[in-house]
Every structure is written in structure tokens, then in C-alpha cells.
Amino acid sequence: MERPLWSWGRRLVYAFFSVTAVVIVSVCEFVPLFRPQGFHCNDPDLSHKYIGETITPTEILIAVFTIPLTILLLNEYWGRIGSNNARWVKQALYWYKDFISGLLILLTIVAITKVLVGEPRPHFFDSCKPREAINCTAGAFIYHFQCLGKDVRQYQDASKSFPSGHAAVSFYFFLYLSWYIQKNLKRVQPIVLLWMQTALFLIACFVALSRITDHRHHWWDVLFGTVLGCAMAACSALTFSKNFKLHESEVTTHSFDNRGGGPLTFLGNENHTVQWFLNKNNAFTDGNDGSHIITP
């Protein structure tokens, strides 16, 4: 009997920790747990105007949850062309589960750190409008303050600058997918892989730098978020995904050494591309109905 890639016991454990992570992140985001740290009177680093966000949290979460799943499904499908092994969906979901596991841990760390540190954002004065900042002595540190801003949600968020969640998530996205691409697209030329990874890197940089230009974070918030995201991606790839080694029940003649990059094989080694076409053409015999399939 074929052993499943993921037992029901592991599914329950994963579900428990996933729900726990979501609850922790939600509580940290919407419930005021700790008093935010104070500020220096007339601090220029906190005097920027609130101008909105180039990339909203909703937009980045949608991208981070959907794009990796699409890439994983397509690559696992293309890697099984010419084979009657239909477990490519399960293998793709197995990698995706690892990706989400690391992402939830990352979001939990970011949410808890934001609450514990309580650092003011660059637009703190504009969003909070603290009463104590009206007639204070320049440079004096204000420990206790009261916000006069009308948007409660906005001035609560104004004390959650460190670290940058956008930077952490975007660089986690970049490094995990780049690692997966490097380990899985064996037939693709290194220059093509490099360009794909460069594109992911530029996307991550754009997201992270937009947090500084939007005056949503200080540069050190973004830097720490970047390091945190990369560290979590490395941990996920090595610990959860086991450096992207196939599950033992998946190791067949269509292992990583023989898997390709779908249409990208045209950009790979010429002999590999010819072999791919030969394998595909030999997959059907005795007519076009596909009733007799040979595994190359």
C-alpha cells in the first residue's frame, strides 16, 4: 500500500500550530497589549506625513500565498511529463506546506516583536498627534503620552515600526523560491536560473525599499526584517523541506536528476531537450487514445 506523503497525525499537528500562529498574529495586530515606547520631542525621524502604502499588507499576502503555489504546481507537473506518476500534486503541496509553515512562524515572530518593542513609525506625530508633543522641550524624552488622532486603528499601528513585516515576508518569499528553483530546475541553463532568481530578488527589494519611501519604516527596521526573512527561509528550506529532497516514496526514474523545467528546457542543455522530446513521443503507443502508456 502506498504510503501518503503526509499522515493524518502530521496534518492535525500542522493545523494546530497554524491556527495558533494565526491567533497570535491577530491578537498582536488588533489588541493593545503593551504600552508603546515613548519618543523624543520634535524628533525629525518621526515627523513625516502619512502618505499611505505603495504595497498594502493584503496585496503582499495575496502574492505570497498564491505565486509560490502556482510555481510549485507548474514545476512539479512539468517534472512528471511522460510519467504515469500522478503524485506531482501531492509533492507540490508538500513543498507548499513547508513554505507556509515557515511563513507562519515568521509572521508570529514579527507580530510579537512589533508589540514588545513598540517603536514609533516615521509618521508617528502625524498619525498619533500626541498631546504631550504640543508644548514640549526639544529633545526631551516623553515616556507617557495620549494620542489625539481620531483614527484609533491608525495611531495604534503608528507604534509598530520594528521590524518591517513587508521586508521580512518579501525576502522570505525570494530566498525560499530561489532555493527551490536552484534545486529543482536541473535542465535549465544557470544563466536562466540566475535571471529568474534576480527577478525575485528585485521584487523583494522593491517591496522593502517602498516601506522606507512611504515613510512606514526606518531603514534599520527594513534591514532587520530582511535578515529575519532570509534566516527563516534558510531554516524552512533546510529543516522543513530537507534541502528539497524528494520524499522517499517519490524517488523514481523521474527524480530530481531527470526533472526539467517544462518549457524552460528549450533554454537548457541541448541533449537534455532532445531526450525530453524522445521521452514524450515514446509515451504513447498503439494509437492516439493513450490507452497504453510506457514510462521512459
Specify the higher pLDDT residue, 285 or 97. Answer: 97
Q: Which three three-digit cell numbers place residue 70?
A: 502556482
In a domain, 251, yes or no: yes
Model confidence pLDDT, tens digit, residues 17-48: 999 999 999 999 888 877 788 899 999 999 99
User: CA–CA separation, 63 vs 70, rounded Å?
Assistant: 10
Candidate ranges 3-17, 23-37, 168-182, 183-197; pick with highest mean pLDDT = 168-182
Comparing 35 with 79, the larger pLDDT belongs to 35
- Choose the weakest-confidence range: 83-92, 158-167, 187-196: 83-92
Structure-model confidence comparison of residues 89 and 281, the more confident one: 89
Q: Are 80 and 88 in contact (CB under 8 A)?
A: yes
Query: Is a pLDDT exceeding 70 seen at residue 192?
Result: yes
For residues 185 and 193, give the distance between their C-alpha atoms in angstroms, rounded to a whole number.
Answer: 8
The more confident residue out of 203 and 1 is 203
* Domain presence at residue 28: no
**Domain annotation covers residue 295:** no
Total domain count, the chain:
1
Strands 39-40 and 141-142: antiparallel
- The answer to the question of residue 294 being in a domain is no
Cα separation of 296 and 280, whole Å? 8
Q: Report which of 82, 22, 8, 53 is spatially closest to residue 285, judged by C-alpha positions.
A: 82
Q: How far is CA 282 from CA 30, 237, 273, 293, in A?
A: 59, 35, 14, 9
Instruction: Give which of 229, 235, 234, 219 is closest to 165, Cα–Cα.
Output: 229
Does the pLDDT value for residue 203 go beyond 50? Answer: yes
- The predicted pLDDT at position 293 comes to 34
Cis ω before 68 (30° cut-off from 0): no
The torsion of the CA quartet 265, 269, 271, 277, rounded to 10 degrees, works out to: 0
User: Does residue 153 form part of some domain?
Assistant: yes
Identify the pLDDT of residue 5. Answer: 54
Residue 52 binned pLDDT confidence (cut-offs 50, 70, 90): very high
3-class SS of residue 141: strand
Mean pLDDT lowest among 85-89, 216-220, 267-271? 267-271
Residue 184 falls within a domain, yes or no? Answer: yes
Q: Per the domain annotation, does 43 fall within a domain? A: yes
Cell numbers for 88, please give them: 506531482
Q: For residue 2, count other CB atoms closer than 10 A to its CB.
A: 6
**3-state SS class at 194:** helix
If one counts every other C-beta atom within 10 angstroms of the C-beta of residue 159, the result is: 25
In DSSP terms, 268 is beta-bridged to 188
Confidence of residue 6 (pLDDT cuts 50, 70, 90): low
Q: Is 210 helix (H, G, I), strand (E, B) or coil?
A: helix
- Kindly tell me the burial class for residue 178, based on how many C-beta atoms sit within 10 Å of its own C-beta (0-12, 13-18, 19 or more): buried
Residue with cell 507537473: 77
Residue 103: closest CA among 31, 17, 29, 32: 17
Confidence of residue 253 (pLDDT cuts 50, 70, 90): very low
CB within 8 A of 126, min separation 6: which ones? 47, 48, 49, 50
pLDDT at 180 over 80: yes
Round to whole Å and give the CA distance between 296 and 292: 13
Asked whether residue 229 is assigned to any structural domain, the reply reads yes
Structural domain of 165: 37-273
Q: Which residue has the higher pLDDT, 188 or 48?
A: 48
The C-alpha cell at 260 is 526539467
